[in-house]
Amino acid sequence: MNFQQIFGTTPEVEATAPGRVNLLGEHTDYNDGFVLPIAIPQRTKVELGLSQDTQYHFYSQELEEMVSVASKSLTPEGFASYIFGCIQLLAKQGYKIPAINLYVTSTVPIGVGLSSSAALEVATLKGLRSLLNLPIDDVQIAQIGQQAEIQYAGLNCGIMDQMASSLAGTHSMLFLDTRTLERRTLELPAGGEILVIDSGVNHALAAGSGYNQRRVECEEAARLLGVKALRDITNPQVAQSLPEPLCRRARHVITENNRVLEAISGISISRFGELMNASHASQRDDYEVSVPAVDALADILQRTPAVYGARLTGGGFGGACVALIAEGKSAIATDVLRQYNELGYSGQVLVAAK
Ligand code: GLA
């Protein structure tokens, strides 16, 4: 059923936003650090029009679900929480947001670490900006989207995903300093392309998950080390004075920031791949956000010829691996999946160059 069949009118505007895959710089954004995401081809689209009554109506094509709320309602659950959060935050900034109909459709896979929620937030905000002529720019959209995620969906996230969804393209990496929001677009290492494979183990990051716990640990580590954020430390030895597990959490963040900075310094593609492999080990051993299925998938990828490097991407606790592979070699995915499935898992290719 399309917008017209659901709402009985045609939409007035539409907007889209992509998911993202992060190449390096994981769990660094809420430590004021550095990240290196790139947009993926999969996008979320919202169509919008004014509502005929006083309620907001949100419809998800994938879930075949309608959620109707008033502006004073409690936050709804699920996909509607992100949309509702964006509307409430705009209203808190003083914008008058009339009751609307909003129809969502998306090809961004959910629960695999490719930022389906940021894509929904950014598409919603861009749709509202265009419907209501709001004077907000793409960075403000990312900032409001991040707050929607934190205040209405319960994930105490950083700003990487929303910045990537709002500003990144699918052909170049977005290097972002999450403290200053200074950014640069950079080409992928020459001769390389990206392959993303889902482990088949879904992640669930929000309230109660290890994600928010990791953020608390990092803030505690920064406090004990006397810095504003772990970004302010560059020597991993400094973390050794911390108690367990804070020393390993801090070591991951410090070494990961160093890896991003090295990655953008004009290194070879093989060194870039080594940094990705080291990032995976650090996420697995120091940050403890991987799971056995993802470790097995990363291991197979790392042992496959034509793969320069591979690592868990996104928030972790399940999800997908990103690999940097030699250009034109995405057919290796067949053999990777065969080996992975032989271990009893069920993976699938999510992103591969054509
Ligand atoms: C999730 C969060 C991001 C970031 C990553 C981990 O995707 O939304 O802010 O912290 O995890 O790098």
Mean pLDDT value across residues 140-146: 98
Contact 97, 127 (CB under 8 A): no
Which residue's alpha carbon is nearest to atom 1 within ligand 1? 315
Which residue's alpha carbon is nearest to atom 8 within ligand 1? 157
Does 202 have pLDDT greater than 90? no
- C-beta 19 within 6 A of ligand 1: no
Structural domains of the chain sorted by starting position, each given as residue range(s) with its CATH number in brackets: 3-185 (3.30.230.10), 188-353 (3.30.70.890)
* H-run or E-run covering 350: strand 348-352
Does 208 have pLDDT greater than 90? no
Mean pLDDT value across residues 91-120: 97
Average pLDDT, the chain: 96
- C-beta 157 within 6 A of ligand 1: yes
| Statement: the pTM of the whole predicted model exceeds 0.75 | yes
Does 297 have pLDDT greater than 90? yes
pLDDT of 339: 98
Which residue's alpha carbon is nearest to atom 10 within ligand 1? 27
Going from the Cα of 50 to the center of ligand 1, the distance in angstroms, rounded, reads 33
- C-beta 158 within 6 A of ligand 1: yes
Going from the Cα of 53 to the center of ligand 1, the distance in angstroms, rounded, reads 37
Q: Which atom of ligand 1 approaches the CA of 157 most closely?
A: 9
| DSSP-assigned states of every residue in 145-194 | HHHHHHHHH-----SHHHHHHHH--SSEEEEEETTT--EEEEEPPTTEEE
Contact 37, 174 (CB under 8 A): yes
And the tokens for 74? 């409690």
Going from the Cα of 199 to the center of ligand 1, the distance in angstroms, rounded, reads 18
Mean pLDDT value across residues 256-285: 98
- C-beta 160 within 6 A of ligand 1: yes
Name the band, by pLDDT with cuts 50, 70 and 90, for residue 203: confident
Nearest Cα residue to 119 out of 175, 41, 58 = 41
Q: Which of 109-113, 283-287, 326-330 is predicted with the least confidence, judged by mean pLDDT?
A: 109-113
Q: pLDDT digit string (tens) for 231-255?
A: 999 999 999 999 999 999 999 999 9
The whole-angstrom separation of Cα 345 and Cα 322 is: 17
pLDDT of 209: 74
Instruction: For 13, list phi and psi in degrees, rounded to 5.
Output: -140, 165
pLDDT of 354: 62
pLDDT of 206: 57
Is pLDDT larger for residue 202 or for residue 308? 308
The whole-angstrom separation of Cα 232 and Cα 276 is: 22
Does 286 have pLDDT greater than 60? yes
The whole-angstrom separation of Cα 88 and Cα 241 is: 43
Is pLDDT larger for residue 208 or for residue 284? 284
Going from the Cα of 138 to the center of ligand 1, the distance in angstroms, rounded, reads 19
Encode burial over 176-199: b for 16+ CB neighbours within 10 A, e otherwise: bbbbeeebeebebbeebbbbbbbb
